[in-house]
């Protein structure tokens, strides 16, 4: 049985990762020159978002080739086969760095097999790909079968986002200050998604938080198509706005009858760029629109 690995860009619950024996590499969150979250550094979501509200201005650092090489050298005896599902190359250079590190590891361990899949997504959209990989592995699918299916279906995994506080996007470098000021004045809430290049783009602007959350369901209805079945998995993630995430979960259940959810917090690495008001909805569809 192959071992599945991801990184903390996936925002998966720690309990889920432990239950399914998922390995994790870590991008770092840095404040005042010190790593405050990453490998061997845990920072609860509520503490992190409280720091942001108090004016903290953290940054993030991607995994480098030496980090990846060190992780695989440490865990090389865990399995003969590994599958790494990484944060979108449209958002980070991590997948490229891991590829370099893995190639060096394989030179010294030619009997091992390591497949790398670029999720072209982030947060629970990336995490959702991991969930489907876990299902396939546990059903007895091979490493090659699972990696091939993920690559064929990468652009069928939809990751949609909205925020209530536009200044969080400005502080995270995702929006100009002028746009944040103007948008706040007229109560604009952006509906965003990962495009086919794995980049975060604003798809449309809606008036009011409730309308933005409800539009996430409309968008899901338009994209889901024939992919919905009784085994459908939905990913929902939030910064520090549990009520809004629960509202989205309620709408999905009422609209589609789906009850299979994986729900978690957006961790410091993603939250640095998006803030506490982020809500993410991820699902498998017929494509990305």
pLDDT in tens, 62-71: 999 999 999 9
**Is the pTM above the cut of 0.85?**
yes
Confidence of residue 164 (pLDDT cuts 50, 70, 90): confident
Residues 111 and 224 occupy one common structural domain: no
Give phi and psi for 257, each to the nearest 5.
75, 15
16 CB-contact burial (10 Å; exposed 0-12 / middle 13-18 / buried 19+): middle
Q: What would the pLDDT profile of 169-227 be if each residue is shown by its tens digit?
A: 655 555 554 444 344 433 578 899 999 999 988 888 888 899 999 999 999 999 988 88
Residues 110 and 194 occupy one common structural domain: no
Residues 184 and 277 occupy one common structural domain: yes
Residue partners of 123: CB distance under 8 A and separation at least 6 = 9, 10, 11, 159, 161, 237, 266, 270, 280, 282
For the chain, percent of residues with pLDDT exceeding 90: 78
Q: What is residue 269's predicted lDDT score, i.e. its pLDDT? A: 94
Contact 223, 158 (CB under 8 A): yes
In a domain, 289, yes or no: no
Q: What is residue 22's predicted lDDT score, i.e. its pLDDT? A: 98
Confidence of residue 230 (pLDDT cuts 50, 70, 90): low
To 5 degrees, how large is the angle CA 281–CA 44–CA 78? 80
Alpha carbon of residue 94 to chain centroid: 13
Q: What is residue 158's predicted lDDT score, i.e. its pLDDT? A: 96
Question: Is 80 exceeded by the pLDDT of residue 167?
Answer: no
Which domain range does residue 42 map to? 3-154
Q: With H, G, I as helix, E, B as strand and everything else as coil, classify residue 260.
A: coil
Residue 12 DSSP code: -
Query: Rounded mean pLDDT of 224-236?
Result: 83
Residues 76 and 163 occupy one common structural domain: no
Report the number of distinct structural domains present in the chain. Answer: 2
Query: Rounded mean pLDDT of 98-111?
Result: 97
Answer with the one of 123, 154, 185 that is the final residue of a domain: 154
Answer with the one of 130, 154, 178 that is the final residue of a domain: 154
Residues 96 and 86 occupy one common structural domain: yes
For the chain, percent of residues with pLDDT exceeding 70: 91
Q: What is residue 185's predicted lDDT score, i.e. its pLDDT? A: 36
In a domain, 194, yes or no: yes
Q: What is residue 184's predicted lDDT score, i.e. its pLDDT? A: 45
Q: What is residue 231's predicted lDDT score, i.e. its pLDDT? A: 73
Answer with the one of 131, 154, 177 that is the final residue of a domain: 154
Residues 84 and 223 occupy one common structural domain: no
Query: Rounded mean pLDDT of 21-28?
Result: 97
Residues 42 and 125 occupy one common structural domain: yes
Q: What is the CATH number of the domain that holds 130?
A: 3.40.50.10170
Please tell me the distance from the alpha carbon of residue 91 to that of residue 251, in angstroms, as a whole number.
29
Per-residue burial over 140-168, b if 16 or more Cβ lie within 10 Å, else e, is ebebeebbeebeeebbbbbbbbbbbbbbb
In a domain, 170, yes or no: yes
When comparing pLDDT for 182 and 16, which is higher?
16
Residues 244 and 263 occupy one common structural domain: yes
Residues 160 and 20 occupy one common structural domain: no
When comparing pLDDT for 181 and 5, which is higher?
5
Q: Report the sign of the C-alpha dihedral through residues 214, 215, 216, 219, in that order.
A: positive
Query: Rounded mean pLDDT of 77-106?
Result: 97
Average predicted confidence (pLDDT) for the chain: 91
Residues 101 and 133 occupy one common structural domain: yes
Query: Rounded mean pLDDT of 111-132?
Result: 97
Please tell me the distance from the alpha carbon of residue 113 to that of residue 73, in angstroms, as a whole number.
13
Q: What is residue 47's predicted lDDT score, i.e. its pLDDT? A: 95
The β-bridge partners of 192 are 161, 202
Residue partners of 165: CB distance under 8 A and separation at least 6 = 275, 276, 277
Which residue bears the tokens 């919905």? Answer: 228
Which residue bears the tokens 């993630």? Answer: 237
Confidence of residue 252 (pLDDT cuts 50, 70, 90): very high
Residues 20 and 126 occupy one common structural domain: yes
Query: Rounded mean pLDDT of 99-112?
Result: 97
Strands (E), the chain: 3-7, 23-25, 28-31, 34-37, 59-61, 81-86, 113-118, 157-162, 188-194, 200-207, 234-238, 261-265, 279-284
């Amino acid at each position: 049985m192959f071992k599945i690995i991801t990184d903390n860009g996936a925002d998966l619950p720690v309990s889920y990762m432990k239950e399914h024996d998922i390995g994790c590499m870590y991008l770092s969150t840095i404040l005042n020159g010190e790593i405050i979250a990453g490998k061997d550094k845990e920072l609860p979501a509520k503490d992190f978002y409280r720091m942001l509200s108090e004016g903290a201005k953290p940054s993030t650092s991607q995994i480098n080739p030496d980090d990846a090489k060190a992780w695989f050298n440490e865990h090389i005896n865990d399995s003969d086969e590994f599958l790494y599902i990484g944060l979108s190359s449209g958002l980070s250079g991590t997948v490229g760095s891991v590829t370099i590190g893995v190639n060096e590891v394989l030179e010294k361990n030619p009997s091992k097999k390591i497949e790398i899949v670029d999720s072209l997504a982030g947060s629970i959209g990336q995490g959702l790909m991991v969930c489907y990989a876990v299902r396939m592995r546990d059903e007895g699918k091979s490493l090659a079968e699972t990696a091939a299916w993920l690559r064929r279906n990468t652009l069928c995994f939809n990751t949609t986002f909205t925020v209530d506080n536009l200044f969080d996007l400005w502080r995270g470098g995702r929006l100009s200050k002028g746009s944040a000021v103007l948008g706040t004045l007229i109560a604009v809430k952006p509906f965003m998604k990962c495009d086919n290049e794995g980049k975060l783009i604003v798809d449309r602007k809606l008036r009011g938080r409730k309308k933005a959350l409800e539009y996430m369901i409309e968008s899901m209805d338009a994209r889901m198509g024939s992919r919905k079945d009784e085994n459908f998995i939905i990913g929902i993630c939030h910064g520090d706005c549990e009520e809004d995430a629960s509202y989205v979960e309620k709408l999905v259940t009422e609209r589609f009858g789906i009850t299979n959810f994986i729900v978690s917090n957006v961790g410091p690495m993603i939250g640095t760029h998006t803030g506490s008001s982020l809500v993410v909805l991820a699902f498998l569809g017929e494509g990305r629109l």
